[in-house]
Amino acid sequence: MTKILEKNITIVLLAIIGYFLFSISSSLRESSKYDADLRTCAKMKAYLNNKESYRLLEKEAAAITGVSVDFVGEYCKKLTHHKFF
């Protein structure tokens, strides 16, 4: 009887640990995507006065973020609304 109880407790604890590891990895994935988008927007902002470099970075940002080139500027404004560079 105690072996069955120990086995069930082990399975439950492993399931709980697996759930928390999965949620942590999901959170890290979202955080890394946000950081990559933020870095790309910071590059664009750094080259705001150089039109050629800005256009190239705008295309790069569109590829990284998955947003259309026409809306990358608005996306970066929204993304950096509460962040200050």
0.75 cut: is pTM over it? no
| Every domain of the chain and the residues it spans | 2-79
Q: What are phi and psi of 71, to 5 degrees?
A: -110, 5
pLDDT of 21 > 90? The answer is yes
Q: How confident is the model at residue 15 (pLDDT cuts 50, 70, 90)?
A: very high
Cα dist from 41 to 4, 24, 74, whole Å? 56, 26, 10
* Predicted local distance difference test score (pLDDT) of residue 20: 94
Query: Residue 45's CB: how many other CB atoms inside 10 A?
Result: 15
DSSP 32: H
Mean predicted confidence (pLDDT) in 34-50? 87
Q: How confident is the model at residue 47 (pLDDT cuts 50, 70, 90)?
A: confident
pLDDT of 26 > 50? The answer is yes
CA distance 37 to 60: 11
